[in-house]
Amino acid sequence: MRFEVQAADGLARAGLLQLAHGPVETPAFMPVGTYGAVKALAPGDLQQLGAQIVLSNTYHLWLRPGLSVIRAHQGLHRFIGWGGPILTDSGGFQVFSLGPLRKVGEDGVRFRSPINGDAMLLTPEDSIRIQHVLDSDVAMVFDECTPYWIESRGQARPASEREAAASMQLSLRWARRCREEFDRLQGDRALSGIVLGGLFESLRDVSAQGLRAIGFDGYAIGGLSVGEPKAQMRAIMQYAATRLPAQAPRYLMGVGTPEDLLAAIAAGLDLFDCVLPTRNARNGWLFTRHGDLKIRNARYRDDTAPLDPDCRCATCRQFSRAYLHHLQRINEMLGARLNTIHNLHYYLDLMRRARRSIQDGTFDQMARSELASRAASGEAP
């Protein structure tokens, strides 16, 4: 991995990230292909949309199709037919999502396979070995995603500082083990650490300092968008961003809306992923520069206008709101595909416009204009 900041506007930065399978111009959004596929789209679609890098998940690919299948293809790139860079999440968040079905210990996480019920153990070393087989351009360390809500006596409460600290310290110990296993395998790809600590600034400090002492190629902010209030999420994101090395790429994990991404870029973050554009597309929730549309609503039944007259994606150039409404109403898979093409185009184009505005020194004006337009015209969630 090589990373160069090419322009800055305030804290916002435009960079160039050189990876084994090609360059990535930042800020960049990574479409999520959890199982090795971005739902409803083929690799050629992603290329036409201008996607530079995609995200896949270690945990899910380990369970299905399994490492023997991917090893036979000499890695994930050939298996899924994507020639560009791939970042693989470590599986920590997916194990976190299992809730009471998993047991976290010093060695790793024990759980029952949701596929066949087999007893499973995922350790930091396992996560790195799996990602080595996947041959991803960027691997992530295995972490315990600190929850915001803790179940206690039948009620949910926010995690205490003591609980968040214990989780963060465990993840730091796991991060060192990941670094050692990565080095033992002599991988020629990149390994990224994950800053944790819940909503506590002092814990984010300890986590960032510990990761920098170990040494990683890139650094991520994790453990956000897990149920915490939006204002607190934004505040800790902005704080944690200042604790990441300036010379390394900075990745915000699993966040979020267009508004979240603009706030993150303004805070100096470079890489992003989220399931919102693809998941919401399948549910008929469409993002535009003029606000969001719920295409299933009856108001679009006779609407002959394009989804967004200012959008140049294939969906907006060829189809009307009425047609997209019709496809959504009859649950036609083409609707999910056309909606996904549009939503990902919007997210990727937002990154391109943000990059140009940083280079021009006009990022703040661009972001304020985008936010104002979306707020004035969109439908309420």
Return the SS3 of 352: helix
pLDDT for residue 98: 75
Query: Alpha-carbon distance 227 to 242, whole Å?
Result: 23
Whether 183 is a known active-site residue: answer: no
pLDDT for residue 73: 98
Phi, psi of 7, deg, nearest 5: -160, 155
Q: Contact, 286 vs 292, CB < 8 A?
A: yes
User: Which is catalytic among the residues 143, 273, 292, 308?
Assistant: 273
Residues 6+ apart with CB under 8 A from 330: none
Looking at the DSSP bridge assignments, the partners of residue 252 are 221, 272
Q: What is the pLDDT of residues 102-123, one digit of tens each?
A: 899 999 999 988 889 899 999 9
The residue behind tokens 């990373």 is: 3
Give the tokens for residue 301.
Answer: 């039944």
Residue 182 neighbours by CB distance under 10 Å? 23
pLDDT for residue 380: 53
- Kindly state the percentage of the chain with pLDDT values over 90: 90
Spell out the domain ranges in the chain.
Answer: 2-273, 282-377
pLDDT for residue 198: 96
Query: Alpha-carbon distance 246 to 329, whole Å?
Result: 48
Q: Closest by alpha carbon to 169, among 196, 148, 202? A: 196
Whether 89 is a known active-site residue: answer: yes
* CATH assignment, 2-273: 3.20.20.105
Average pLDDT over residues 273-296: 97
Torsional sign, CA 381, 151, 279, 56: positive
Query: Alpha-carbon distance 294 to 297, whole Å?
Result: 6
User: Which is catalytic among the residues 89, 135, 137, 217?
Assistant: 89
Looking at the DSSP bridge assignments, the partners of residue 89 are 57
Q: What is the pLDDT of residues 50-101, one digit of tens each?
A: 999 999 999 999 999 999 999 999 999 999 999 999 999 998 877 777 777 7
Q: Is the pLDDT of residue 381 over 60?
A: no
Q: Contact, 62 vs 34, CB < 8 A?
A: no
The residue behind tokens 């967004």 is: 308
Q: Closest by alpha carbon to 251, among 275, 274, 226? A: 274
Residues 6+ apart with CB under 8 A from 363: 9, 10, 12, 265, 266, 354, 357
Q: Is 145 exposed, middle or buried (0-12, 13-18, 19+ CB in 10 A)?
A: buried
The predicted model scores a pTM of: 0.97
Give the tokens for residue 83.
Answer: 């020639």
Q: What is the pLDDT of residues 317-364, one digit of tens each?
A: 999 999 999 999 999 999 999 999 999 999 999 999 999 999 999 999
Return the SS3 of 166: helix
Mean pLDDT for the chain? 95
Query: Alpha-carbon distance 379 to 381, whole Å?
Result: 6
CA dihedral 53, 214, 211, 218 (to 10 degrees): -20
